[in-house]
Amino acid sequence: MKDAKTTSKKVIPIAPAPGGFMPMYEAQAKIYPRNTFGFFKNWRWVMIWITQIVFYGVPWLQWGERQAMLLDISTHRFYIFGLVLYPQDLIYLVIILIIAALALFLFTAVAGRLWCGFSCPQSVYTEIFLWMERKIEGDRAARIRLDGSKFGVKKLYIKSLKHLAWISFSIFTGFTFLGYFSPIRELLDSIIQVRLSPWETFWICFYGLATYGNAGFLREQVCKHMCPYARFQSAMFDNDTLIVTYDQERGEPRSGRSRKVDAKQEGLGDCIDCNFCVQVCPVGIDIRNGLQYECISCGLCVDACNSIMDKMSYPRGLIRFTTQNGLAQHWTKHQVIQKILRPRVLIYSALLLLLSLGLVASLAMRPAFKVDVNRDRGVMSRLVSGGKVENVYQLQITNVTEAKEAYRVSVTGIDGLSMASKTEFTVEPANERLVAVSLQIADGAVRSGTHPIMFEVEALGTKERITQKSIFYMSR
């Protein structure tokens, strides 16, 4: 038998952290993105300007006597320029969401997370907040020094000025967001006169606080941990998807050096290990470690690396947008682009085109009014004066245009059936009206039971007609 001392396992106790507290998660170091300039940085700002001009400008546009874009939840009407949509038009929203999803799949299959890097509100507002931070606190080194300095009057002043700018911008963003759901001019008057309703105040503050928190503090944490797109994006990637890639074959072994050093003679790669690509990354990753789910394909590391390559008189493209196949097989840009039109991309494009054309055609052929017919279920039928049997119906006529319209109602399906109520009704623009319609027939003219009938409603102005099925009940 072996000695118990030699067979026993050595147990190493885990020493508690100082103070008796052991953190369960790794502390996240604050990221101080460095400013850079270049092709992708310029395109990011182009997209920021476009998206923000649209977001902040559209609510102020007028269409006739109303706001051009207004999602009026209180009246259940959505005004989109010349289009008026109702809850019954939910199918259009479904189609738009499907088109948006397909577009996201298409862009991802072609060039990775383009949406994240150039148009996502989180990325856009983070970049705007960073711009304000740079203007007030200075560049990356100045911000690091400021955060590391002792608290004093100067630090309090600078930090207060930055947060005041952030909060002001966030409140304006919340006000604009609410302007899509409540007429923005009336909303502005309510703010000036200090008579905002509690709900309006809540939503302005809520959306403003979300902007302030997400873009000012959470930043890359939203992209890393809260955004689901980062988690399933790999399912839409393949070896011919354009991604931000580090050319390891060309760059390694990396080493710092002066411009006078002959890298090839020394057996060194083109990467000088300056870490600029890491310092400019808004999510703080090192692209030289390979593709990571945190990468938002903003291309800032490409701009930073190209600027260093220019200074070192090396060829650009050590970090670049290319495909895994293109990198492995040393394809030219032309060869990489040729491989983009692969079956997956063509299928996404065809489906996207068909759905878009279908949506446009459906909206173009959309009727100018809607009709719903409901029988009075309280009384199936009743005998009235003159020896006639009467059924009562309620017609809901919805005028989806922005012009007043008159309608004529008629009924067919049973010989001798007549209308004992008004046959013409007027409906106000973008409004609906409930009208009572009484149908009568001589008692005994048809057998007892239910009989199919057809209501026909004609718009007198446009001559457009809509028919709706219903039944006439003849009592025993």
Is it the case that residue 400 has pLDDT exceeding 80?
Answer: yes
Q: Which residues contact 327 (CB under 8 A, 6 or more apart)?
A: 245, 247
3-state secondary structure of 70: strand
- Which of 261-275, 369-383, 460-474 is predicted least confidently? 369-383
| Ordered DSSP codes for 384-449 | ETTTEEEEEEEEEEEE-SSS-EEEEEEEESSTT-EE-S--EEEE-TTEEEEEEEEEEEETTSS-SE
Q: State residue 279's pLDDT score.
A: 96
Which residues on neighbouring strands pair with residue 410, listed in sequence order?
456
In the predicted model, what is the mean pLDDT of residues 126-133? 97
Q: How far is CA 452 from the centre of its chain?
A: 46
Q: Give the chain's mean pLDDT.
A: 90
| Neighbouring C-beta atoms of residue 259, cutoff 10 Å | 9
> The tokens of 224 are what?
């890393």
pLDDT, tens only, 160-193: 999 999 999 999 999 999 999 999 999 999 999 9
Q: Residue 420: is its pLDDT beyond 70?
A: yes
How far is the C-alpha of 473 from the C-alpha of 382, rounded, in Å? 10
Q: Does 144 score more than 50 pLDDT? A: yes
Tell me the pLDDT tens digit for each residue of 75-127: 888 999 888 888 888 889 899 999 999 998 999 999 988 899 999 999 999 99
Mean pLDDT score, 152-164: 96
Identify the band that residue 20 occupies on the pLDDT scale cut at 50, 70 and 90. Answer: low
Query: Mean pLDDT over residues 7-16, rounded?
Result: 57
> Residue 1 — pLDDT band, cuts 50, 70, 90?
very low
Overall average pLDDT of the 218-236 stretch: 84
The span from the CA of 220 to the CA of 30, in Å, is 10
- Better-predicted residue by pLDDT, 130 or 16: 130
Reduced to 3 states, what is the DSSP secondary structure of residue 456?
strand
Q: Cβ distance 130 to 31 under 8 Å?
A: no
Strands of 221-306, DSSP E: 243-246
Residue type, 78: F
| Percent of the chain whose pLDDT exceeds 90 | 65
What would the DSSP string read from start to end of 28-64? PPPP-PPP--SHHHHHHHHHHHHHHHHHHHGGG-EET
Contact 309, 315 (CB under 8 A): yes
Q: Is the model's pLDDT at 4 over the cut of 60?
A: no
Phi, psi of 258 (to 5 degrees): -90, 170
Q: How far apart are CA 121 and CA 226, in angstroms?
A: 14
CB of 47 closer than 8 Å to CB of 118:
yes
> pTM for the whole thing?
0.84
Integer Cα distance of 116 and 124 in angstroms: 9
Per this entry, what is the length of the chain? 476
Task: Report residue 75 as tokens.
Answer: 């009246």
Pick the closest to residue 281 from 305, 248, 265 (CA basis): 305
Q: What is the DSSP string of 187-235?
A: HHHHHHTT---HHHHHHHHHHHHHHHHIIIIITHHIIIII-THHHHGGG
How confident is the model at residue 253, as a pLDDT?
93
List the one residue out of 454, 476, 456, 475 whose CA is nearest residue 466.
Answer: 456
Determine the Cα–Cα distance for residues 66 and 448; give it in Å rounded to an integer: 52
Query: What do you get for the CA distance between the two ends of the chain, in Å?
Result: 103
Two tokens, residue 31? 């990221």
**Residue 441: how many other CB atoms lie within 10 Å:** 20
User: How would you class 254 by CB atoms within 10 Å of its CB: exposed for 0-12, middle for 13-18, buried for 19 or more?
Assistant: middle
The pLDDT value given to residue 346: 92
Two structure tokens written together for 273: 């290990």
Enter the DSSP assignment of 20.
Answer: G
Residue-by-residue DSSP string for 341-370: S-HHHHHHHHHHHHHHHHHHHHHHT--SEE
Residue 386 has what pLDDT?
83
Q: Considering Cα of 242, then 248, then 251, then 255, what sign does the dihedral take?
A: positive
Q: What whole-number distance in Å separates Cα of residue 187 and Cα of residue 195? A: 9
